[in-house]
């Protein structure tokens, strides 16, 4: 979810810019580039297991190459019939549009990046006094200290309601910060949703209307859309193993990740950020400044996939920057779409790769290879490759033994150290995953046998110990992917009663059901896979005193404590356990998620004479039911209210019917399955069993 642009003044200039951004060039004129693009997109499809991908390369006002490939059964890919790229969700690349909007308002003197957010959004409040120190700049460089992603009911099917955005301020009002504002940059979706609200507050204009008038229209982007708009050439998305197209994916956090575009439009938008037009040069430079370096970050002179600017994921994108070519990148991932945008400002070049399935990182690398091809044609690029500096095995200082223990990020690692200088890294939650061994060297690093990756144990100024990792992966056809980041933070010792630990392990190892998600939420579809693999009561493997990387506070509270820059410490939540009047266990997360123990779901009643009803209560929570013997084998027909839906699962968690996905009005029920009804408070479902 990510990106940005600029504006001059005269209407004539705006019209010239709009026309020049979309001017195509014959594919025959760029045969070599087209061939390189097809080859590199094929690699992105292969590595990411994407089903379809489209690309476009923009140079100095023109699209000089574009096309689309789809994966073939058995491997490889082929050109898409007709060559039409189609419209894809661009996920977090939307953040760059939001950033451009904020920068335009800063240029106009309507806001100051270094003023507190509360100055422009007085309704913004949190249960943590430090929120008053969050500036607009911190929203754009990911250093606000916000927990991360308050996105309950944000990822929907064919439902463009902005519920998640509309409820953000209410949900933030009960949250704390996970770090001091400005302490470090860690990926944060909520910051950009807040930025969207700031734009609306400052302009008194709907966010989408502002973007249309001040960015899309000025840049001539005629195939860039929002979820509530109609567009016919959307690229279909599918469930794995199912050939039925899914409904339109709608993200209710537009400013953080909800926009749609063609590859040509996205490349042209990137091109608009190589020159004045949407933004002044000073604003473009500000976006490309190394904002990440203002806070906690590894003190290593090695490239990484992340180096945040304002909006941009990286303002030092490999391999360009180490070769003296400034490069900017933004990636975006939704559940079904993936996007990569790479911009070379000094060369007036931009490339976009969009896909269904796959991974944004591979799309970014594919776009990079296309731009490298253009530069090499002009003899303007000779790639310099990274490698670990020379070092020899050495005796490990004994004081490093104190750094052994559990390290947390999005997962938990266990680091064991022996006096002979061997570091053994394992994953408690993945007992079958082989442990990795690294050996101490005279430069203070631990390296694997091949010398392909290295680790350091670093005590930072904030008093925490971090596991730094250096990697350099060769992805055939896509180039090299460097890593130079803090992978995890050592979890402080937390002694708890063994009985409390066992209780939490069992709770978090069991299956829970989402209660607060909107009827159209993608969570209901994703839940099927979780139900297939989750066994109630099965304890999870974790660090003592923790559940995953969440610290056990007491019998009813878990707390996020990991402070890792980049992405390792993103999307934190605190968790509270409550029990209802019947003793059923409920989990309340600070991101707005509410979950109930699956064992507490009642058995579905077939009612009197095969008729029954289900009504959503005033709390708005979904109504879950187990399918028992009385309903086994029967066909359920549902008469639904408006803005509501139901989902049916079999005993293995497979979705067998859904009014949301396939417009089902009936379903064959199977014993030990589940059914959920969701909608607005008061919504009444009339049920008939045959």
* CB-CB contact of 321 with 233 (8 Å): no
What per-residue confidence (pLDDT) applies to 1?
Answer: 39
Distances (CA, A) of 288 to 292, 309, 348, 366, 669: 11, 5, 15, 21, 56
pLDDT in tens, 258-268: 999 999 999 99
Top pLDDT among 480 and 489 is at: 489
Query: 492: which residues sit within 8 A by CB, 6+ positions away?
Result: 551, 561
The β-bridge relationship of strands 684-689 and 674-679 is: unpaired
pTM, rounded to two decimals: 0.93
**Tell me: the pLDDT tens digits for 435-453?**
999 999 999 999 999 888 9
Question: What's the chain's Rg over C-alpha atoms?
Answer: 26
The token pair at 382 is: 């000779």
Q: Helix H segments across 455-593?
A: 498-509, 523-533
Contact 669, 586 (CB under 8 A): no
Query: Is residue 350 scored above 50 in pLDDT?
Result: yes
* pLDDT tens sequence across 396-433: 999 999 999 999 998 999 999 999 999 999 998 888 88
Contact 445, 470 (CB under 8 A): yes
CA atoms within 13 A on the CB side of 615: 3
Identify the pLDDT of residue 530: 64
Identify the top-confidence range among 267-271, 410-414, 474-478. 267-271
Q: How many CB atoms lie within 10 A of CB 444?
A: 15
DSSP letter string, 23-47: EE--GGGGHHHHHHHHHHHHHHHHH
User: In which element (H, E) is residue 478 found?
Assistant: none
Pick 24 or 388 by higher pLDDT: 388
Q: Which residues contact 390 (CB under 8 A, 6 or more apart)?
A: none
Q: Which residues share a beta bridge with 624?
A: 676
| Coil vs helix vs strand at 621 | coil
Decide: 214 and 101 in contact? Cβ < 8 Å: yes
Distance CA 460, CA 525 (A): 42
Cβ distance 447 to 15 under 8 Å?
no
Distance, CA of 624 to chain centre: 28
Distance (Å, whole) CA 637 – CA 641: 13
115-127 pLDDT, tens digit per residue, is 999 999 999 999 9
* Pairing status of strand 585-589 against strand 575-579: antiparallel
> How far apart are the C-alpha atoms of 436 and 571, rounded to whole Å?
27
d(CA 292, CA 217): 32
SS3 content of the chain, % helix, strand, coil (to 5): 25, 30, 45
Alpha-carbon span 388 to 386, nearest angstrom: 7
Mean pLDDT, to the nearest integer, of 229-243? 92
Matching residue, tokens 């704390």: 176
* Predicted local confidence at residue 498, as pLDDT: 94
Confidence of residue 509 (pLDDT cuts 50, 70, 90): confident
State residue 494 phi and psi, 5-degree precision: -140, 100
- Asked whether the predicted pLDDT for residue 19 surpasses 70, the reply is no
Instruction: Give residues with Cβ within 8 angstroms of 258, minimum separation 6.
Output: 1, 89, 94, 226, 227, 250, 251, 252
């Amino acid at each position: 979810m990510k990106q940005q642009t600029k504006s001059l003044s005269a209407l004539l200039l705006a019209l010239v810019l709009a026309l020049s951004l979309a001017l195509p060039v014959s594919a025959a004129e760029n045969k070599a580039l087209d061939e390189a693009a097809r080859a590199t997109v094929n690699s992105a499809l292969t590595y990411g297991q994407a089903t379809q991908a489209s690309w476009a390369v923009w140079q100095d006002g023109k699209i000089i190459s574009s096309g689309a490939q789809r994966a073939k059964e058995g491997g490889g890919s082929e050109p898409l019939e007709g060559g039409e790229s189609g419209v894809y969700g661009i996920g977090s690349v939307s953040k760059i549009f939001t950033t451009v909007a904020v920068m335009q308002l800063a240029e106009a003197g309507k806001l100051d990046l270094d003023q507190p957010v509360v100055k422009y959004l007085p309704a913004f409040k949190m249960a943590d006094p430090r929120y008053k120190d969050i500036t607009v700049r911190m929203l754009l460089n990911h250093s606000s200290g916000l927990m991360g992603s308050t996105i309950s009911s944000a990822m929907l099917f064919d439902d463009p309601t902005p519920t998640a955005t509309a409820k953000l301020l209410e949900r933030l009002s009960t949250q704390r910060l996970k770090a001091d504002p400005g302490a470090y940059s860690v990926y944060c979706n909520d910051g950009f949703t807040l930025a969207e609200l700031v734009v609306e507050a400052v302009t008194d204009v709907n966010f989408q209307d502002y973007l249309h008038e001040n960015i899309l229209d000025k840049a001539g982007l005629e195939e860039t859309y929002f979820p509530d708009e109609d567009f016919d050439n959307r690229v279909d998305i599918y469930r794995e193993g199912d050939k039925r197209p899914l409904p339109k994916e709608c993200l209710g956090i537009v400013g953080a990740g909800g926009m749609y575009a063609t590859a040509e439009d996205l490349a042209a938008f990137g091109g608009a950020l190589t020159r004045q037009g949407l933004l002044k040069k000073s604003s473009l430079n500000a976006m490309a400044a190394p904002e990440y370096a203002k806070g906690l970050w590894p003190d290593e002179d090695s490239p990484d996939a992340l180096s945040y600017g304002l909006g941009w994921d990286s303002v030092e994108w490999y391999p360009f920057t180490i070769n003296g070519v400034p490069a900017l990148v933004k990636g975006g991932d939704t559940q079904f779409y993936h996007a990569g945008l790479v911009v070379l400002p000094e060369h007036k070049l931009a490339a976009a790769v969009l896909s269904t399935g796959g991974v944004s990182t591979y799309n970014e690398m594919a776009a990079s290879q296309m731009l490298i091809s253009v530069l090499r044609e002009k003899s303007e690029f000779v790639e310099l490759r990274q490698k670990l500096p020379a070092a020899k095995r050495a005796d490990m200082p004994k004081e490093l033994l104190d750094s052994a223990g559990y390290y947390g990020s999005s997962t938990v690692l266990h680091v064991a150290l022996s006096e002979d200088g061997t570091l053994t890294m394992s994953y408690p939650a993945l007992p079958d995953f082989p442990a990795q061994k690294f050996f101490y060297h005279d430069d203070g690093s631990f390296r694997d046998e091949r010398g392909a990756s290295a680790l350091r144990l670093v005590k930072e100024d904030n008093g925490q110990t971090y596991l730094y990792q250096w990697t350099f992966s060769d992805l055939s056809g896509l180039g090299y992917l460097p890593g130079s980041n803090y992978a995890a933070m050592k979890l402080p010792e937390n002694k708890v009663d063994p009985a409390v630990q066992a209780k939490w392990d069992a709770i978090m190892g069991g299956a829970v059901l989402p209660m607060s998600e909107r009827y159209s939420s993608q969570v209901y579809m994703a839940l099927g896979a979780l139900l297939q693999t989750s066994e109630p009561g099965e304890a999870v493997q974790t660090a003592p005193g923790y559940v995953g990387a969440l610290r056990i506070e007491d019998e009813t509270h878990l707390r996020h404590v990991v402070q890792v820059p980049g992405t390792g410490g993103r999307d934190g939540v605190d968790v509270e356990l409550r029990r209802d009047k019947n003793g059923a266990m409920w989990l309340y997360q600070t991101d707005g998620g509410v979950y109930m123990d699956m064992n507490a779901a009642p058995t579905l009643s077939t009612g009197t004479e095969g008729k029954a009803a289900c009504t959503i209560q005033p709390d708005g929570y979904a109504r879950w039911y187990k399918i028992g013997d009385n309903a086994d084998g029967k066909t359920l027909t549902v008469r639904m209210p408006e803005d509501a839906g139901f989902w049916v699962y079999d005993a293995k968690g497979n979705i067998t019917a859904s009014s949301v996905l396939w417009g089902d009005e009936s379903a064959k029920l199977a014993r030990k399955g589940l059914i959920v009804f969701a909608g607005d408070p008061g919504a009444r479902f009339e049920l008939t069993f045959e």
